Amino acid sequence: MLKQAMKKLAPSQQVLHRIFNSRQLALKLIANVTYGYTAAGFSGRMPCAELADSIVQCGRSTLEKAISLVNANEKWKAKVIYGDTDSMFVLLKGRSVKESFQIGREIASAVTAINPDPVTLKLEKVYHRCFLLTKKRYVGYSYESADQIEPMFDAKGIETVRRDTCGAVAKIMEQSLRIFFDHQDISEVKTYLQRQWTRILSGRVSLQDFVFRKGSSVG
């Protein structure tokens, strides 16, 4: 509910956006900590391994049922290429963004129908141009509605958004990915990278982009 409310806010409502974002993060952390508390057999004061195992098993069986439903439906001609915890990526080869949204909504409705309330599957995004690397690491051009004209560059878990690398790596990688998504020509990526390395070797770069930053706490 909070995430949906965040999407409806105007650009000028930044303060409210931060408040809603903090609230949805708090709810997520409470749910995660509750699960972790029951599973903490070594450090927990009131562990309940059976409860923790049942949470994991319920999530896994729900996801497996959804994957089987999608892969078995001949009308959609869809294939689940990744599933983890509470989400899945569905490949719709050869379909447009609008067609993908239509099929995605049908999949979400069908999966919701086979599960007890309040379990629901929601269509979040359509990626048109995407690299799915490993678990929780992917990047692509995302669309949040069928009417969206320009896609958003969306990355999870890779160097463009990680905080354990320097600015130069993040900037060069993001631009390289954008060039490939826009043109799908690896030679253009190669030309761009050679140009950047030439600038680096000749010293025509900002040293600030090569500074590693890491937080530290003082006890």
What tens digit of pLDDT does each residue of 10-69 get? Answer: 889 999 999 999 999 999 888 888 777 787 766 667 788 888 888 888 889 999 999 999
Residue (of 158, 172, 159) closest to 205 by Cα position: 172
Digit-coded pLDDT (tens) for 148-157: 999 999 999 8
Which range in 73-87, 88-102, 199-213 is most confidently predicted, on average pLDDT? Answer: 88-102
Average pLDDT, integer, range 190-197: 96
Task: Give the pLDDT of residue 43.
Answer: 66
Task: Give the pLDDT of residue 216.
Answer: 60
User: CA 88, CA 132: separation in Å to the nearest integer?
Assistant: 12
User: CA 119, CA 36: separation in Å to the nearest integer?
Assistant: 21
Give the side-chain half-sphere CA count within 13 A for 5: 13
pLDDT value at 219 more than 60: no
Q: Which residue carries 């447009």 as its tokens? A: 96
Task: Give the pLDDT of residue 218.
Answer: 60
Average pLDDT, integer, range 155-175: 88
Q: Where are the domains of the chain?
A: 68-158, 159-205
45 or 117, which is more confident:
117
Task: Give the pLDDT of residue 79.
Answer: 95
